[in-house]
């Protein structure tokens, strides 16, 4: 594990006293231990929030030592769907007032919500339908967000919250409007390192502060650039293992029994997605997996010696794309734009993500295959190997862009908030008319590949030195960590608060970061 003490800035902002902790099912045990460490060090009062009834039961039972002073069910968006609606003009007036105060529209926030913003999952339209999404109308959406804003303003004010720990765009925007620091826990995309980001876009002033401090020569060769991202490695292996017909049958049977059990126990999650849609998803995943291994795809070896740009598809709906890149989440448009503007003789190689399979609109792959300078890679090919062989990499968000940036590959980023967007060899698209020029810069024969590699190594070193190791933890094994990981997590959190001292909470996280719509 990385030693952080040598680079921790002195905490010049007050230690947190009243913390709002939005609990996550994937980190259920870890966040409770983080709360205990915060209370042990500072006597902080921790207020926990969770969404589902079964989560509420779990945390009440786990809160034997009273580390959570309060545990509140916080699902105001869904709760509001059962309300009798106020007059439409009153709903709109309150919504407009709140939007002005927050600096974003309600629909901007809804882009990152897979139920209220389902329509924004343009490349995930066959994700299982939900009763929540089907019950949302225009007036109900505005009313629900009015209730959400009122809920968090009341909670943060009455409990005198001075730090919000969560992973959501809605509470991040509300906290920022009130001047309350927000931190989200994110994967660093290297081994099993994690860090506390400054905003809902995974930004980190601290990474870039450290990047500027590092001597570029010192960053040379100190980190294994080929080290796998643990969670991606585990998930890919699991996904490939289950994509067989016997496992398809087993999944259908298991899910049916599981849903029946949830319904008998009265779990909220039994009422969300339609079972029929989930079972049809399993069937489509199996069929599409076979298709993406078939004759319509090409092996990576077919591109040997050819100049190509690599684009890795993203799962939809998913916070990774919709919350992190609300300005641009149009995957088919990105592919079409790249195809249109690529220089003659250059191929665009597109690879599907295992998690997106089965969710795509009808004829999605046929549309991609219709571009004459675009090929679909076989699903079994390594995405990292495709990055290594590419002349450049194009992304909206995701690990592929991170890997390319660290390796010093030119990156065309349609997403404006990727942590690596501050690197000189990452070209951020803010206007489609600029794309051809950015591609020309990426293919410039005078592109300084060695300087880009040095910057990539330096960037990776900065990430490692401002992250902490969660050891063997994954959401498949939620207790595979030691007290040392918890202590390092809290140290990392305090380091972000110290790094923010004297800066505004909405400050840019990277030297060349593009301003968001606020």
Q: Considering only residues 475 and 212, tell me which one the structure prediction assigns the higher pLDDT.
A: 212
Listed by start position, the domains of the chain span: 80-145, 243-291, 302-462
Once rounded to an integer, what is the mean pLDDT over residues 443-465?
95
Whether 483 shows a pLDDT value over 70: the answer reads yes
Q: What's the CA gap between 337 and 438, in Å, rounded? A: 12
Q: According to the model, what pLDDT value does residue 203 have?
A: 95
Q: According to the model, what pLDDT value does residue 124 have?
A: 96
Q: What's the CA gap between 234 and 219, in Å, rounded? A: 28
Joined tokens for residue 425 = 């060899």
Once rounded to an integer, what is the mean pLDDT over residues 33-55?
93
Once rounded to an integer, what is the mean pLDDT over residues 220-243?
59
Q: According to the model, what pLDDT value does residue 320 have?
A: 87
Whether 283 shows a pLDDT value over 80: the answer reads yes
pLDDT band (50, 70, 90) for residue 235? low
pLDDT band (50, 70, 90) for residue 387? very high
Out of 123-127, 263-267, 297-301, least confident range: 263-267
User: Average per-residue pLDDT in the chain?
Assistant: 88
Whether 243 shows a pLDDT value over 60: the answer reads yes
Q: According to the model, what pLDDT value does residue 516 have?
A: 33
Percent residues over pLDDT 90 in the chain:
73
Q: What's the CA gap between 218 and 220, in Å, rounded? A: 5
Q: According to the model, what pLDDT value does residue 340 have?
A: 98
CATH architecture of 302-462: 3-Layer(aba) Sandwich (3.40)
Percent residues over pLDDT 70 in the chain:
88
Element (H, E) at 53: helix 53-62
Whether 383 shows a pLDDT value over 70: the answer reads yes
Whether 302 shows a pLDDT value over 90: the answer reads yes
pLDDT band (50, 70, 90) for residue 272? confident
The sign of the torsion formed by the CA atoms of 231, 31, 469, 479 equals: negative
Q: According to the model, what pLDDT value does residue 431 have?
A: 94
pLDDT band (50, 70, 90) for residue 270? confident
Q: Considering only residues 501 and 228, tell me which one the structure prediction assigns the higher pLDDT.
A: 228
Q: What is the pLDDT of residues 67-108, one digit of tens each?
A: 999 999 899 999 999 999 999 999 999 999 999 999 999 999
Whether 130 shows a pLDDT value over 60: the answer reads yes
Residue whose token pair is 């959570």 = 68
Q: According to the model, what pLDDT value does residue 492 have?
A: 96
pLDDT band (50, 70, 90) for residue 456? very high
Q: According to the model, what pLDDT value does residue 227 have?
A: 62
Q: Are 183 and 509 in contact (CB under 8 A)?
A: no
Joined tokens for residue 329 = 């989440």
Q: Are 67 and 32 in contact (CB under 8 A)?
A: yes
Once rounded to an integer, what is the mean pLDDT over residues 36-44?
94
pLDDT band (50, 70, 90) for residue 238? low
Query: Across 167-211, where does the E strand assignment appear?
Result: 182-187, 193-197
* CA 352 vs CA 192, 315, 331, 376, 383: distances in Å: 24, 9, 12, 8, 9
Helix then strand then coil, % of the chain, to nearest 5:
50, 15, 40
Q: What's the CA gap between 84 and 140, in Å, rounded? A: 10
Once rounded to an integer, what is the mean pLDDT over residues 167-179?
96
Once rounded to an integer, what is the mean pLDDT over residues 160-171?
96
Once rounded to an integer, what is the mean pLDDT over residues 220-249?
62
């Amino acid at each position: 594990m990385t030693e952080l003490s040598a680079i921790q800035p002195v905490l010049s902002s007050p230690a947190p006293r009243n913390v709002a902790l939005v609990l996550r099912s994937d980190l259920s045990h870890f966040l409770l231990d983080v709360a205990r460490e915060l209370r042990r060090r500072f006597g902080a009062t921790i207020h926990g929030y969770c969404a589902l009834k079964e989560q509420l039961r779990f945390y009440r039972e786990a809160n034997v030592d009273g580390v959570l002073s309060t545990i509140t069910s916080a699902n105001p968006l869904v709760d509001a769907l059962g309300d009798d609606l106020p007059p439409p003009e009153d709903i709109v007036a309150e919504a407009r007032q709140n939007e002005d105060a927050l600096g974003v529209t309600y629909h901007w926030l809804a882009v990152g919500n897979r139920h209220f913003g389902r329509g924004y999952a343009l490349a995930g339209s066959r994700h299982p339908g939900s009763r929540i999404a089907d019950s949302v109308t225009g007036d109900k959406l505005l009313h629900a967000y009015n209730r959400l804003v009122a809920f968090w303003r009341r909670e943060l004010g009455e409990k005198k919250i001075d730090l919000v720990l969560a992973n959501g765009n809605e509470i991040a925007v509300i906290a920022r409007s009130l001047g309350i620091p927000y931190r989200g826990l994110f994967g660093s995309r290297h081994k099993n390192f994690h860090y506390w980001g400054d905003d809902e876009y995974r930004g980190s002033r601290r990474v870039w502060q450290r990047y500027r401090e590092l001597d570029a020569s010192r960053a040379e060769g100190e980190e294994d650039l080929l080290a796998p991202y643990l969670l991606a490695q585990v998930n890919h292996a699991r996904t490939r293992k289950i994509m067989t017909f016997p496992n398809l049958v087993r999944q259908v049977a298991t899910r049916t029994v599981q849903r029946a059990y949830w319904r008998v126990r009265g779990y909220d999650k039994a009422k969300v997605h339609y079972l029929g849609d989930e079972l049809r998803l399993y069937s489509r995943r199996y069929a599409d997996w076979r298709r993406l291994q078939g004759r319509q795809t090409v092996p990576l070896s077919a591109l040997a010696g050819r100049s190509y740009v690599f684009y890795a598809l993203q799962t939809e709906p998913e916070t990774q794309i919709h919350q992190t890149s609300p300005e641009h989440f149009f995957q088919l448009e990105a592919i079409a734009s790249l195809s249109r503007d690529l220089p003659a003789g250059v191929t665009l190689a597109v690879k599907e993500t295992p998690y997106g399979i089965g969710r795509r609109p009808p004829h999605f792959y046929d549309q991609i295959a219709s571009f004459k300078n675009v090929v679909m890679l076989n699903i079994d090919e390594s995405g990292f190997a495709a990055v290594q062989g590419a002349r450049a990499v194009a992304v909206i968000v995701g690990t592929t862009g991170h890997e390319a940036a660290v390796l010093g590959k030119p990156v065309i980023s349609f997403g404006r908030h990727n942590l690596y967007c501050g690197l000189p060899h990452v070209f951020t698209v803010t206007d489609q008319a600029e794309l051809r020029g950015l591609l020309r810069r990426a293919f410039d024969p005078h592109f300084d590949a060695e300087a880009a590699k040095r910057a990539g190594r330096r960037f990776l070193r900065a990430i490692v030195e401002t992250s902490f190791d969660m050891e063997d933890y994954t959401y498949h094994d939620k207790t595979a960590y030691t007290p040392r990981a918890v202590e390092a997590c809290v140290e990392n959190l305090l380091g972000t608060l110290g790094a923010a001292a004297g800066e505004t909470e909405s400050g840019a996280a990277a030297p060349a970061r593009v301003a968001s719509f606020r």
